[in-house]
Amino acid sequence: IAGITQAPTSQILAAGRRMTLRCTQDMRHNAMYWYRQDLGLGLRLIHYSNTAGTTGKGEVPDGYSVSRANTDDFPLTLASAVPSQTSVYFCASATGTSGTDTQYFGPGTRLTVL
């Protein structure tokens, strides 16, 4: 693989269910990010990780958790999904050598919570 992959591509989920969105990059980037994109709104940062073993909260972290056990993977978990979490979720990565590094985005996961 090359770049960033996300899985699944799309998912319909019943409210209250647990769901993990997967994100994997093979560019050896240190920094990784999770965003959600909703119609009429800009991308909003959910969680980020500056390097393996560390994570931080973004603008809209409630209801989501992340882990960064290694450089390549950055899964996003919804512990108990709610309809307001219906969105398109993008994972992104950056080299992390500078705070102003360009972020590269995965193809996204379209999640519908009913």
Partner 1 sequence: GQNIDQPTEMTATEGAIVQINCTYQTSGFNGLFWYQQHAGEAPTFLSYNVLDGLEEKGRFSSFLSRSKGYSYLLLKELQMKDSASYLCASMDSNYQLIWGAGTKLIIKP
φ/ψ bin of 77: left (φ > 0), alpha (ψ from -120 to 50), beta (otherwise): beta
Per the CB < 8 A criterion, the answer to whether 74 and 20 are in contact is no
Find residue 49's DSSP bridge partners: 32
- The first and second tokens of residue 66, run together, are 């992340």
Q: Which of residues 22-51 bind partner 1 (CB under 8 A)?
A: 40-45, 48
Is 61 a binding residue for partner 1 by CB under 8 A? The answer is no
* Residue 7 within binding range of partner 1, rule CB under 8 A: no
How many other CB atoms sit within 10 Å of the CB of residue 71? 19
**Which region among 18-26, 65-73, 74-82, 105-113 touches partner 1 (by CB under 8 A)?**
105-113
Binding of partner 1 at residue 106 (CB under 8 A)? Answer: yes
Residues at the site binding partner 1, with contacts judged by CB under 8 A? 40-45, 48, 58-59, 90, 99-100, 102-108
